[in-house]
A and B are shown apart, each in its own frame.
Chain A
Amino acid sequence: MKNHEVEILLVEDNEGDAELTIRALRKNHLANKLVHLENGAEALDYIFAEGEYANRDVSNLPKMILLDLNMPKVNGIEVLQKLKSDERTKMIPVVVLTSSKEDPDIIKCYNLGVNSYVVKPVEFDSFANAVTKLGLYWMLLNQPPVRQTK
């Protein structure tokens, strides 16, 4: 897992949400190279190849990051800030997928350079739909920035 090419990084602490998100993506064949981490601290360690992920190849960056905001310890906003303020990672599309509909959070995220902010709908149908559409859009339709070769 550590050195496989990662396409989607899912940072989500809620088990149910994580399982259902992965399921929706898998149904659309978007989940092959998906990594799921459960808190912000771990996510940062993974991306920047630190801590327990020190052996990871840091140039192997995800094509898209699905990020929840309300996580224990390091929360989503802090992760977003670190991602968007680092040269190496600021180009990675970050989609905040969260329960929070609160304006201050939305504004804060956009100020930090989030690419998209989606509120998790309560009804699962809509949620699955949303995830599917996000996956299809960012992975297939959207043109990523030119990748630097290893």
Chain B
Amino acid sequence: MKKPEKEIADYKYALDQSSIVAITDQKGIIRYVNDHFCNISKYSREELIGQDHRIVNSGYHSKEFIRNIWTTIANGKIWKGEIRNKAKDGTYYWVDTTIVPFLNEEGKPFQYLAIRSHITDRKMAEEKYRLIFDSIDEGFCIIEMIFDENKKPLDYRFIEINAAFEQQTGLVDAIGKRMRVLVPNHEQHWFDTYGKIALTGEIIRFENRADQLKRWFDVCAFRFGDPKNYQVAILFNDCTARKEAEDQLKSVNKELEAFSYSVAHDLRAPLRSISGYADMLKEDNEIMVTSERNRVIDNIQRNAKKMGMLIDDLLAFSRLGRKEMVLNKVDMDKLMKDLLEDLKKSLDHKANISISRFPEIMGDYGLLYQAMHNLVANAIKYSSKKEMPEIKIDSETRGDDIIFSISDNGAGFDMKYADKLFGVFQRLHKEREFEGTGIGLAIVYRVIDKHKGRIWAYGKIGEGATFFFALPRINSTNHKTE
């Protein structure tokens, strides 16, 4: 055989051994198939030669896909792609296909040589991967980092995202888009972290907040594929709920600590006094006059009573923390009416209380009652030494809030200590002047806080005080987030 002919024969042999080969004429009729083709299609040579190539068509690909192949090769161009075919027994197989048109003197194809390699295994692995990819709850994506000339991370583009991505991020239609376009003010540290991973191959696990997306993310990210591609795979989930629960727990624990501290401290004092005064009686019994003895005994009883009050208040306060809020429409008019009647009976005060009409608000009736009770009882108490105690209870709509106010013309307080008003057991007056444990306002604060409102106060020594609290209006948008 002549040398060039041997070379061609060798190539043909090599080709036949390595790949699935078929030759069709310009009409698509099969003229030649190699052994691999027969093996994979499960047809014999005789069943294939003279048949239209459509014999292995599986119907998987769209009409456009098929048309596109024909258009390409009929124009003399090479077509490359992945095709799913059907074997004689009905099973499917995937082949990575290259179709090469052979051109005649006029440049028109007279036959097509199709070279294929069997990729069913790879395709099945890919499908398995995609199944996992799309069935997990976590978000998963592959991004491509974009750096500037100094390798500083500028941006990244989403190459692949899984089904859960949208739900985890809130980002719709992110494929192919750049992060800085999707989320203009995304924090730089995200880009820095992913950039670092893309450059160093480090695997980083971290938690951080994306302000623009209003979410916390628990993230595990690692470099993906060829380092030159600067691609990073990110597995993540939205852990905002957990983060917020953690924060809330931390603040509850802190409050509990401060609270326990107050408890211990404030309960010890009366105990010490009781013990001390009792001692005094024992030591000085012989020399004490009756009036002095009675004074000491009164002190003992006063302190015992004080401890009882403290304990009751503490229980009320702690119960408040644990109680579940029941939100309903609260008729503040009725609440005030009931409250004032109660107070008239229980305190037997002589204060002149003027009230206006109040709107309905969303809240927990019991808690709001308790808060209003403490505020009004305070107003009565601190104005009780005036000749004409006057108390005014009012409300006003301001924007999304209703602002309630309780003002009295009593002892007032020094604004310098306004921030101590709502502390547990914090008092701005002497026990002698006005009885109290200092927990009333702490309870009010907690109630208002639970209702997502705000409370503040103004006072002037000797002239009086006004307490304001704001609660969301019934139709305000705040309620939608509850």
Q: CB within 8 A of A14: which of B269, B275, B417?
A: B269
Which of B134-142, B191-199, B423-431 contacts its partner? B423-431
Chain B 397-422 interface mask (CB, 8 Å, partner A; 1/0): 00000000000000000101100100
Chain B 326-351 interface mask (CB, 8 Å, partner A; 1/0): 00000000000000000000000000
Q: Are B276 and A128 in contact (CB under 8 A)?
A: yes
How many Å lie between the Cα of A14 and that of B430 in the bound state?
9
- Minimum CB–CB distance from A4 to chain B (whole Å) comes to 24
Q: CB within 8 A of A38: which of B270, B273, B299, B430?
A: B430
Given A14-B273, A17-B272, A102-B261, answer yes or no on A73-B428 (Cβ-Cβ < 8 Å). Answer: yes
- Minimum CB–CB distance from A149 to chain B (whole Å) comes to 38
Chain B 255-280 interface mask (CB, 8 Å, partner A; 1/0): 00000010011001111110111111
Interface members, chain A 1-41 (any B CB < 8 Å): 13-17, 19-20, 23, 38
Chain A 96-107 interface mask (CB, 8 Å, partner B; 1/0): 000110100000
Q: Are B273 and A72 in contact (CB under 8 A)?
A: no
Which of A51-59, A117-125, A134-142 contacts its partner? A117-125
B122 contacts partner chain A, Cβ-Cβ < 8 Å = no
How many Å lie between the Cα of A133 and that of B277 in the bound state?
20
**Which B residues lie within 8 Å of A122 (CB)?**
268, 271-272, 275
**Which B residues lie within 8 Å of A89 (CB)?**
none
Given A23-B280, A70-B265, answer yes or no on A17-B430 (Cβ-Cβ < 8 Å). Answer: no
**Which B residues lie within 8 Å of A121 (CB)?**
272
**Which A residues lie within 8 Å of B299 (CB)?**
15-16, 19
A48 contacts partner chain B, Cβ-Cβ < 8 Å = no
How many Å lie between the Cα of A128 and that of B273 in the bound state?
11
**Which B residues lie within 8 Å of A99 (CB)?**
264-265, 268-269, 272
- Minimum CB–CB distance from A10 to chain B (whole Å) comes to 15
Chain B count of residues within 8 A CB distance of the other chain = 28
How many Å lie between the Cα of A123 and that of B276 in the bound state?
7
**Which B residues lie within 8 Å of A100 (CB)?**
261, 265
B303 contacts partner chain A, Cβ-Cβ < 8 Å = yes
Q: CB within 8 A of A124: which of B261, B272, B417, B420?
A: B272
Give the nearest-CB partner of B275 in chain A. Answer: A124
B319 contacts partner chain A, Cβ-Cβ < 8 Å = no
Among A16, A38, A128, residue most surrounded by chain B Cβ atoms (within 10 Å): A16
A127 contacts partner chain B, Cβ-Cβ < 8 Å = yes
B432 contacts partner chain A, Cβ-Cβ < 8 Å = yes
Q: Are B269 and A16 in contact (CB under 8 A)?
A: yes
Q: CB within 8 A of B420: which of A13, A15, A73?
A: A73
**Which A residues lie within 8 Å of B277 (CB)?**
16, 20, 124
**Which A residues lie within 8 Å of B426 (CB)?**
72
**Which A residues lie within 8 Å of B268 (CB)?**
99, 120, 122
Q: Are B420 and A72 in contact (CB under 8 A)?
A: yes
**Which B residues lie within 8 Å of A20 (CB)?**
272-273, 276-277, 280
Give the nearest-CB partner of B273 in chain A. Answer: A16
**Which B residues lie within 8 Å of A128 (CB)?**
276, 279
Q: CB within 8 A of B430: which of A13, A125, A127?
A: A13
Among B276, B278, B279, B427, residue most surrounded by chain A Cβ atoms (within 10 Å): B276
Q: CB within 8 A of A73: which of B261, B265, B417, B432?
A: B417
- Minimum CB–CB distance from A96 to chain B (whole Å) comes to 14
**Which A residues lie within 8 Å of B428 (CB)?**
72-73
Interface members, chain A 77-93 (any B CB < 8 Å): none
- Minimum CB–CB distance from B329 to chain A (whole Å) comes to 39
**Which A residues lie within 8 Å of B265 (CB)?**
70, 99-100
How many Å lie between the Cα of A23 and that of B187 in the bound state?
66
How many Å lie between the Cα of A42 and that of B417 in the bound state?
14
Q: Are A16 and B270 in contact (CB under 8 A)?
A: yes
How many Å lie between the Cα of A73 and that of B264 in the bound state?
20
How many Å lie between the Cα of A128 and that of B279 in the bound state?
10
How many Å lie between the Cα of A72 and that of B436 in the bound state?
13
How many Å lie between the Cα of A73 and that of B275 in the bound state?
28
- Minimum CB–CB distance from B61 to chain A (whole Å) comes to 73
Given A16-B303, A72-B420, answer yes or no on A124-B427 (Cβ-Cβ < 8 Å). Answer: no
Give the nearest-CB partner of A119 in chain B. Answer: B268
- Minimum CB–CB distance from B224 to chain A (whole Å) comes to 49
**Which A residues lie within 8 Å of B280 (CB)?**
20, 23
Q: Are A16 and B430 in contact (CB under 8 A)?
A: no
Among B429, B431, B432, residue most surrounded by chain A Cβ atoms (within 10 Å): B431
- Minimum CB–CB distance from A136 to chain B (whole Å) comes to 19
**Which A residues lie within 8 Å of B270 (CB)?**
16
**Which B residues lie within 8 Å of A124 (CB)?**
272, 275-279
How many Å lie between the Cα of A75 and that of B273 in the bound state?
21
How many Å lie between the Cα of A125 and that of B414 in the bound state?
38
Give the nearest-CB partner of B423 in chain A. Answer: A72
Q: Are B272 and A127 in contact (CB under 8 A)?
A: yes
Q: Are B420 and A125 in contact (CB under 8 A)?
A: no
Q: Are A120 and B272 in contact (CB under 8 A)?
A: yes
- Minimum CB–CB distance from B118 to chain A (whole Å) comes to 73
Which 3 pairs of residues, A with B, have the shortest CB-CB distance?
A16-B273, A124-B276, A124-B275
User: 9 extra interchain contacts, Cβ-Cβ under 8 A, other than A16-B272, A120-B268?
Assistant: A13-B430, A15-B431, A16-B276, A16-B299, A17-B272, A73-B416, A102-B261, A122-B275, A125-B275
- Provide a sorted-by-A list of 8 A–B residue pairs whose CB atoms are within 8 angstroms: A15-B299, A16-B270, A17-B272, A20-B272, A122-B272, A123-B275, A124-B277, A125-B279
Contacts from A to B (Cβ < 8 Å): 13-17, 19-20, 23, 38, 70, 72-73, 99-100, 102, 120-125, 127-128
